Structure 1
């Protein structure tokens, strides 16, 4: 199948895709900060450069786009119909790299949590999940 737009337009679109400070990441950061947690961003010395790092708790959060990280059973993670071989290699490579990063972090004693883009549809549930992961006692939850 042929791409629906020309190569120059596709290149312009793809160049605007960011790896850091994405809309989903900013939403998660606001939720976590509003809940009273403080964190470091994109610590490059840790495997996978986690999006949010809580050094004192030895916990990290990755905020992943469902498409780019092939979220299982998610409608947002559809494989493109053009250049299938390229996208299959690219997206499965991302998924394999993520798994290696999670394993390395866990072996180093870190707890890992992944927030998927599709989870942003229910912010109350996401906030509760994040509070549970970060360890705020139930009595202090609002």
Structure 2
């Protein structure tokens, strides 16, 4: 049982200790504070969206906000998990595993961007440390521009 003080991780486990395991399991993959603030600001601008939805049904990846009619997918990336060039600090414990995981996340992000772009979607990515009001304004501008363009017959 992980709550026991003498608990040891299984061989090859990402959990280097019981405390680390509890800490890592507590990290949210959605509904983070930056996501919630951006959602509130975008909603206040009169825009409606889907949360944690798949932009493409056949692609097993979800965007934080999805504006289907405008084909805009928004991702708010965490600095650690997505390898922020400013704030990412390689871990000291089990560095091989975690650095490889972050590298896989980055590769998956680029692959997602490419697949969505090829399908006609606009992909917007923001770091969790960016000024959230500017992020919300950029999102609103992009969604409105794409809606206006599609209403006027442009592509």
**What interval of TM-score do these two structures reach, taking the shorter chain for normalisation?**
0.7 to 0.9
Give 1:134 deviation, angstroms. Answer: 2.1
Match of 1:8 among 18, 22, 25: 18
Unaligned runs of 5+ in 1: 1-5, 137-142
Matched, 1:56 2:65: no
Question: Structure 1, residues 29-67: CA drift from partner, whole Å, max 9, x if none?
Answer: 111101110001122326321111101101110111011
Instruction: Give CA-to-partner distance per residue, 1:65-90, whole Å, 9 cap, x none.
Output: 01100122x12x11112211111111
Show the counterpart of 1:96: 107
State the secondary structure of the residue aligned to 2:76. Answer: strand
Stretch of structure 1 that moved more, 44-53 or 17-26: 44-53
TM-score with structure 2 length normalisation?
Answer: 0.75
Q: Is the 8 A contact 1:46 1:105 kept in 2?
A: no
Q: CA RMSD in A?
A: 1.9
Q: Note the alpha carbon deviations across 1:88-108, whole angstroms, 9 max, x for none.
A: 111000000111111111111
Per-residue CA shift, 1:10-30, capped at 9, x if unaligned? 111111112111111111111
Aligned mate of 2:125, from 94, 114, 117? 114
Measured in 2, the distance between the counterparts of 1:124 and 1:96 equals 28
How many angstroms apart in 1 are the aligned matches of 2:92 and 2:123?
32
List gaps (5 residues or longer) in structure 2. 1-15, 146-155
Larger Rg: 2
Cα distance in structure 2, aligned partners of 1:127 and 1:58: 16
Q: Scaled by the length of structure 1, what TM-score is found? A: 0.82
Q: How many Å separate the matches in 2 of 1:64 and 1:102?
A: 13
Deviating above 3 A after TM superposition, structure 1's stretches of 4 or more consecutive aligned residues are none
How many residues in Structure 1 have an aligned counterpart in Structure 2? Answer: 128
